[in-house]
A and B are shown apart, each in its own frame.
Chain A
Amino acid sequence: MSFLLPLGLLALLALPIIVLLHFLRERRRRVPTPSLLLWANLPRRMEGERSRRLPLTLLLLLHLLVAALLGVALGGPQIAGALAPDARHTAIILDTSTSMAAIDNGTSRFEQARQRVRAITASAAPGDRITLITAGPRAQIVASGDDPFLITVALDRLQPGGVGTAINEALTLAEAALDPQFSRRIVVLTDSALPPQPARDVLVPVEWESIGSNVPNRAIIAFASRPWGGRLQVYARVANYDAAPFNGTLRVFSGNQVVAEERVAIAPNGETEVSWALTGGFGALRAAIDGSDALPQDDSAYLSVSQGRPILALLVSNEPAPLRRALEIIPGVTVAVTTPTAYATAPERAAADLTIFDRFLPDAWPQGAALAIAPPPGSSLLNVAPNTRELETGRLLQQRGSTLEGLGFGGVVFGAVRIVEPPPWAEVQLSSDNVPLILRGRTDNHEIAVWTFNLANSNLTTRLAFPILVARTVRDLAPPPLPQAVRAGEPLVIRPDPRTTTLRLRGPGDRQITAPAAAVVTLDTLVEPGLYQVEEQRDNTTVLAGMVGVNAGAAIESNLRPQSAPPLRAPGNDPGSASGRQMLDLWPWLALAALLVLALEWAYVLRRR
Chain B
Amino acid sequence: MNAMWFRNIFSPKRQAALPPLFNEAFLRRLERLSLQAQRTLRGRPTGGAHLSHRLLPTSIFSDHRPYSIGDDYRYVDWNVYAHQDALFVKLGEIEQDVNIHLLLDVSRSMTWGSPSKLRAAQLLAGTLGYLALAHNDRLHVAPFAATVQREFGPAHGKSRLIEMLRFIEQVQPGGETNLGAVLEGYARRHPRGGLLVLCSDLLAPEGLEAGLRAYPPPIWQVLVIHLLDPGELNPERLGPIELEDIETGKLLPLVVDDETLTHYRRNLAAWQRGIESVCGKRGATCARVLSTWPLERQIIPYLRARQILT
Contact = CB atoms under 8 A, between A and B. Distances in A.
- Do A and B assemble together? yes
Interface of A: 27-44, 46-47, 50, 55, 603, 606-607, 609
A157 B71 CA distance: 136
B246 to A, nearest CB: 5
B260 interface: yes
Interface in B1-47: 6-7, 9-12
Contacts of A42: 254, 260, 263-264, 267
B254 A30 contact: no
A609 B7 contact: yes
Contacts of B263: 42-43
Given A40-B252, A47-B253, A31 B267 contact: no
Nearest to B240: A28
Nearest to B107: A34
Nearest to B203: A35
Contact of B203 (A34, A44, A50, A609): A34
Which of A30, A32, A33, A40 has most chain B Cβ within 10 Å? A33
Interface string B107-125: 0111011000100000000
B241 interface: yes
B112 A33 contact: yes
A42 B109 CA distance: 20
Contacts of B97: none
B244 A32 contact: yes
B232 interface: yes
Interface in B224-276: 229, 232, 238-248, 250-255, 257, 259-260, 263-264, 267-268, 271
B238 A37 contact: no
Contacts of B117: 34
A452 to B, nearest CB: 67
Given A28-B253, A606-B6, A607-B10, A37 B205 contact: yes
A50 B238 contact: no
Interface residues of B, number: 43
A590 B253 CA distance: 38
Which of B246, B255, B260, B268 has most chain A Cβ within 10 Å? B255
Nearest to A33: B243
Given A39-B264, A42-B260, A34 B112 contact: yes
The 5 closest A-B pairs by CB, nearest first: A34-B109, A35-B203, A34-B112, A46-B255, A28-B242
B10 A603 contact: yes
A32 B203 CA distance: 15
A42 B244 CA distance: 15
A31 B201 contact: no
Interface of B: 6-7, 9-12, 108-110, 112-113, 117, 201, 203-205, 229, 232, 238-248, 250-255, 257, 259-260, 263-264, 267-268, 271
Contact of B254 (A34, A37, A39, A55): A39
Contacts of B11: 606-607, 609
A32 B267 contact: no
7 contacts: A30-B242, A32-B244, A34-B109, A34-B112, A35-B201, A42-B264, A606-B10
Contacts of A30: 241-242, 244, 251
B117 to A, nearest CB: 8
A488 to B, nearest CB: 67
Nearest to B7: A606
B240 A50 contact: yes
A28 B242 CA distance: 6
A31 B109 contact: no
Contacts of B229: 34
B241 A31 contact: yes
A31 B238 contact: yes
A34 to B, nearest CB: 4
A609 B250 CA distance: 19
B245 A36 contact: yes
A30 B239 CA distance: 11
Contact of A29 (B6, B12, B242): B242
A55 B239 CA distance: 11
A46 B12 contact: no
A607 B254 contact: no
B271 A37 contact: yes
A35 B238 contact: no
Contacts of B12: 607
A237 to B, nearest CB: 80
A461 to B, nearest CB: 81
Contact of B232 (A27, A34, A41, A607): A34
A27 B242 CA distance: 8
Contacts of A43: 259-260, 263
A603 B259 CA distance: 32
A50 B256 CA distance: 12
Nearest to A38: B267
A89 to B, nearest CB: 45
A600 to B, nearest CB: 11
Contacts of B252: 36, 39-40
Nearest to A44: B254
A281 to B, nearest CB: 88
B273 to A, nearest CB: 13
Nearest to A42: B263
Contacts of A55: 240
Contact of B267 (A41, A47, A50, A606): A41
Nearest to B238: A31
B30 to A, nearest CB: 29
